[in-house]
Chain A
Amino acid sequence: MEGQIKAVNDDYLGFGLGLRTDHFEEVLQTNPKVDWFEVISENFMVAGGKPRYYLQQVRERYPIVMHGVSMSLGSTDPLDMDYLKRLKSLVDEVQPAWISDHLCWSQLGGVNSHDLLPMPYTEEALKHIVGNIKQAQDFLGRQMLIENVSSYISYRESAMTEWEFYSAVVEEADCLMLLDINNIYVSARNHHFDAEQYLAAINPQRVRQMHLAGHSDYGDYIIDTHDHPVVDSVWQLYAKAIERFGPVSTMIERDDDIPALSELIEELNQARQISAETLAGLAIGSLADG
């Protein structure tokens, strides 16, 4: 069981936060106790000014990972090579620990929905998105992390579960996983599947990062809004994930109603604590077994 307790990868960064405009100045002034920052790549794919300045400054103090929201890997539009070139030049400049984007599509015929739209889970869609991920990885010269999205619809033609589709994608494209624990919870509630069954199907060797976030619960369905603190059921699912995957770099996404940095750091410390307690429990368990 040893492999499940220590990190399965050498890139373990610890506990991070999303770098948001509201906190730029405070991060530089106070050097908060955050292990790393995740930046939304698109927010910094601009020519200059404050965004680029703060990114450079924060980059000198903290490890950075880059999270993209618009590669639209699942779209039947060809990959946007101009976008990939601009992304690559930002990657060269920032030298992030890794880069990620989503298991989804966003644009078609050059029109952008600015949303992370789910794929039908079919062989055709699988083959298509795998081809695009391979092409993007070849162009960028590195493995990508692919994140599961929250979804509200499922297509009638889907022939496999989300976790079967997601697992097949990462194996065939030879990419890594950014597991969004909140998204698993949201989609499980919306589509009535068992979130733990999802986790159990994921290959621990592929998991490199986790997202946690808050959502809006409407009873019959949940919307992934990133405007609330992480809820208890998602913390519980996070503990299950740590139990299965061992220490994984974890960050909290907050994109709306952004609170004081100190509040987010407190929430991040909750993740640290849950992770530490879960791992300690496992260690005691494996001692008892041994």
Chain B
Amino acid sequence: MANLQERQAQMMAFLLAGDDRIVEHISSTELVDGNQRLAIYSNGYRLRLKETLAVDHDILASYMGDEAFDELCNKFVESCPSHNKSLRHFAETLPEFLVEHYAQYPQLAELALFERRLLFSFDAADAEPLANDFLQKLAPEDWPICRFSWHPSLQIFDCQYNVVPIWQELKQEQAPPAPLEQRSRWAIWRNAERLTQFTSLMGVEIALLQSLANGDNLSHACEQLLNYLSEEEIPSFLHSRLQSYISNGMLCLV
């Protein structure tokens, strides 16, 4: 009796690794033999995965050039089968793969990670952002105990190379700058119009945003800022930054 599980395992082994034990179980016709028929599936399998990489990582592709990107895709497809029903997760491990296999070009992994972060923000969960006039309406006695949460799409991207300028130039179809070791940090989020945005952050802003994400109220957040700013500098810094995050749709109520 035929064994369904065995046949499916043979088919999968063929798709993933070209294992040909399935071939004898496939009918041939005069016009098209079993091997040709099976090749339609293995070609389709690789094409679909490579197309996913090309769509998710179009900027990385133009940075690397067609040939090098194609080689990367082939290597990635062969060594990282998809473990998710949705193709949108297929390339999630591409940045790690680049760290491991393209260590001589460290900017590649960071560029890929930047693209993945943009993808994450695009369809992260929805939440009502704070109204633009939230701070104006906040009573002075409520300031110290007020707490915020990040919009679910908000992420901090920390990179050692100038990958964001590289991304920006390529997006405009311009020649990218040379890779440069240059640490920078960015907020990436989706605004009220559902457009993905990013902006650079200073170290002290990271401290403020982290503190808010940890659930600190504003009085505790101010204590964190004392590591970066003098006591007199804090109120105006806090007000201007919070207002900017709120207008950008980056913050929600807890």
Binding site for B on A (CB under 8 A): 42, 45-53, 70, 72, 75-76, 80, 83, 105-115, 117, 119-120, 122, 124-125, 128, 152-157, 190-192, 220-221, 223
Contacts and interface: CB of A to CB of B under 8 A. Distances in A.
Interface stretch (B22-30, B235-243, B244-252): B22-30
Contact of B86 (A42, A49, A120, A154): A42
A220 to B, nearest CB: 4
Contact of B41 (A83, A115, A125, A192): A115
Interface stretch (B76-84, B109-117, B175-183, B213-221): B76-84
Contacts of A46: 88, 123
Interface stretch (B6-14, B92-100, B197-205): B6-14
A117 B9 CA distance: 12
B41 A114 contact: no
B83 A76 contact: no
Contact of B26 (A110, A111, A156, A223): A156
Contacts of B152: 47-48
Contacts of B86: 42, 45, 70
Interface residues of B, number: 47
Nearest to B125: A47
B37 interface: yes
Contacts of B15: 113, 115
Given A108-B8, A111-B81, A49 B190 contact: yes
B7 A109 contact: no
Nearest to A49: B123
Interface stretch (B42-50, B59-67, B165-173, B225-233): B42-50
B139 interface: no
Nearest to A75: B8
A220 B41 contact: no
A33 B125 CA distance: 32
A156 B3 contact: no
A42 B44 CA distance: 20
B8 A76 contact: yes
